Amino acid sequence: MNNRIMKANDLISRQIGSETVVIKDNGLSIHVLNKTAAYIWELCDGTYGVDGITGKICERFEVDSDQANADVRATVDQLLEIGLLNQLEV
Amino acid sequence: MQIETPEKHDISSLKSSMQVQIGSICCAIKCQDTEALDGLRQRYLDFLTERPADVSIELSGVDQLKADELEEALSETRFIHGENNFRTTSSIISGTYDLARGTIKISGEKNLANPDLPINHLNRLLSLGYYTACKIRYDDKPPAFLVHSCGIIRHGQAMLFAGPSETGKTTVGRLCGNRYGQVINDEMVLVSRLPGDDGRLSVEGVPMLGGLPRRIRTGAPLACIFLLKQSKRTAVRELDRTEAFLRFMRQVITPAYIGQKDKRAVYALIAEFSDAVTGLTPFFELEFKLDRQSLWRAVEETERMLKKRNNKNE
């Protein structure tokens, strides 16, 4: 899975304290993202796939790239599942 | 959408109408049924005004369905929106509106005005009138938001007891009586930022109906918000900001004006307002076993704790 990834449409997000709250489906579902998930979600602007996002994270933080890739993949999978991200067709 | 400045509707001279004050907004209600209008006048007595109206709601009623038939019809009713009009699948209500002129005309079953129905349609109508007038007057966002809560003034400050139906708002109001504070409304209040002061919020009474007969047109700075939870014990727990935000935003009355199609904009407003309120106000969960003594003991302990904290911060 290395298609470019983008935030879903019509979401409302707000930074509340150290967490990011994302409101979906006109308030019917609300999700709270921790700092890491929110950072990954913010990077999903349609420019990168999982590998590109991993690269961005490795540029910013001192992390093992394999571990980072696994974490990004797991987070992206979860965000796709709950509808906060869409995969763009190549 | 740019909306023209509305004409002001000075209808105070007409007997078939009245004007109700909700915060900075004035809603005119027109109705040819003088008996029904008198009933409304009695209900909204403390909020009647002679100010020119920002929005005018013209009501006409038909009496075709019995109470049980209406309840059944309501459960199956879906709204169908057209260009400047709406109707329902069950034909129990329909209307037209002209935002530029600030007029709403609604025709429906008379029994919809019965405040004892499971959903209070009069409150819905006034909320819609309020937010429609806000759209006309302020365009971008309302200066104050309606919050589903019982508002009580104690020692010159307001505290809100917020929560969905059946969590005890009216009970808190009843247990307050005149001894523990002044209940301004046991169902809904307006919350706004105090002008010229970026760190404080204020609470104001509104005419919307609750379970208690009296509603008061007064206000006070907001001290704190309790989110109610019925329980077999009474206990207070301070909420972190995220939990407060997630629970409080469910208690903000949807700030949608008539004919509004952009639901995302509505939820963005709720989120922005809830963010501001949770950033400025202490929030507590109040588990509550519906008895007077433990309720006010818990409230007093919370007040003492807040006072101590404020003194320390100063």
pLDDT by residue (tens digit) across B112-164?
887 777 778 899 999 999 999 999 999 878 999 999 999 999 999 999 999 98
Q: Are B185 and B214 in contact (CB under 8 A)?
A: no
Q: Is residue A5 part of a domain?
A: no
Q: Is residue B7 part of a domain?
A: no
- Which of B92, B123, B138 is where one domain is finished? B138
Q: Is residue A2 part of a domain?
A: no
Q: Is residue A4 part of a domain?
A: no
**Chain A contact probe: residue of B238, B240, B242, B243 with most A CBs at under 10 A:** B242
Q: Is residue B40 part of a domain?
A: yes
| CATH code assigned at A52 | 1.10.10
- Partner B contacted by A90 (CB < 8 A): no
Q: Is residue B113 part of a domain?
A: yes
Rg of chain A taking only CA atoms, in angstroms? 13
Q: Is residue B306 part of a domain?
A: yes
- Partner B contacted by A28 (CB < 8 A): no
The amino acid sitting at B186 is: D
Q: Are B31 and B107 in contact (CB under 8 A)?
A: no
Low-confidence ranges of chain B (pLDDT < 50): 1-14
Chain B residue numbers touching A32 (CB-CB < 8 A): 242, 246
Query: At A45, is the secondary structure helix, strand, or coil?
Result: strand
Q: CA B120 to CA B40: how far, in whole Å?
A: 13
Residue of A nearest to B277 (CA): A16
Averaged pLDDT, A62-68 = 93
One domain for residues B175 and B295: yes
- Partner A contacted by B276 (CB < 8 A): no
Q: Is residue A27 part of a domain?
A: yes
pLDDT at A6 over 80: yes
pTM of the model: 0.89
**Burial call A35-65: b when 16+ CB within 10 Å, e when fewer:** eebbbbbebbeeebbbebbbebbbeeeeeee
One domain for residues B126 and B217: no
pLDDT at A85 over 50: yes
Q: Is residue B12 part of a domain?
A: no
Q: Is residue A52 part of a domain?
A: yes
- ipTM score of the complex? 0.85
Task: Work out the minimum CA distance from A38 to partner chain B, whole angstroms.
Answer: 14
More confident residue, A50 or B165: A50
Domain that holds residue B252: 144-313
Among B40, B48, B56, B45, CA closest to B21:
B48
Q: Is residue A32 part of a domain?
A: yes
**Burial call B146-182: b when 16+ CB within 10 Å, e when fewer:** bbbbbbbbbeebbbbbbbeeebbbbbbbbbbeeebbb
Residue of B nearest to A34 (CA): B242
Query: At A14, is the secondary structure helix, strand, or coil?
Result: strand
Q: Is residue A42 part of a domain?
A: yes
Chain A residue numbers touching B268 (CB-CB < 8 A): 12
User: What pLDDT sits at residue B196?
Assistant: 67
Residue B301 phi/psi, 5° resolution? -65, -40
H helices within chain B, ranges in order? 34-43, 67-76, 121-138, 169-176, 241-248, 263-280, 292-313
- Partner A contacted by B243 (CB < 8 A): no
| CATH code assigned at B195 | 3.40.50
Distance between alpha carbon B246 and the CA centroid of its chain, in Å? 19
User: What pLDDT sits at residue A90?
Assistant: 62
Q: What is the DSSP letter of A10?
A: T
User: What pLDDT sits at residue B202?
Assistant: 96
Cross-chain CB nearest to A21 (options B240, B246, B263): B246
Query: At B177, is the secondary structure helix, strand, or coil?
Result: coil
One domain for residues B111 and B243: no
Return the H-helix or E-strand segment holding A69: helix A65-81
Chain B residue numbers touching A27 (CB-CB < 8 A): 249, 267, 270
How many structural domains does chain A have? 1
Chain A residue numbers touching B249 (CB-CB < 8 A): 27, 30
How many structural domains does chain B have? 2
Q: Is residue A90 part of a domain?
A: no
One domain for residues B302 and B164: yes
Residue of B nearest to A23 (CA): B267
Q: CA B235 to CA B60: how far, in whole Å?
A: 48
Q: CA A27 to CA B263: how far, in whole Å?
A: 9
Q: Is residue B6 part of a domain?
A: no
- Which of B88, B119, B138 is where one domain is finished? B138
One domain for residues B174 and B309: yes
One domain for residues B71 and B163: no
Chain B residue numbers touching A12 (CB-CB < 8 A): 264, 267-268, 271
- Per-residue pLDDT reduced to its tens digit, A12-44: 999 998 899 999 987 789 999 999 999 999 999
Contact A21 B271 (CB under 8 A): yes
Q: Are B118 and B160 in contact (CB under 8 A)?
A: no
- Partner A contacted by B280 (CB < 8 A): no
Domain that holds residue A59: 10-84
Q: Is residue B2 part of a domain?
A: no
Among B75, B136, B126, B59, CA closest to B101:
B136
One domain for residues B107 and B197: no
Torsion of CA A62, A63, A64, A69, to 10 degrees: -130
Q: Is residue B4 part of a domain?
A: no
Chain B residue numbers touching A14 (CB-CB < 8 A): 245, 271-272, 275
- Partner A contacted by B245 (CB < 8 A): yes
Q: Name beta bridge partners: B161.
A: B150, B226
Chain B residue numbers touching A17 (CB-CB < 8 A): 240-242
Rg of chain B taking only CA atoms, in angstroms? 20
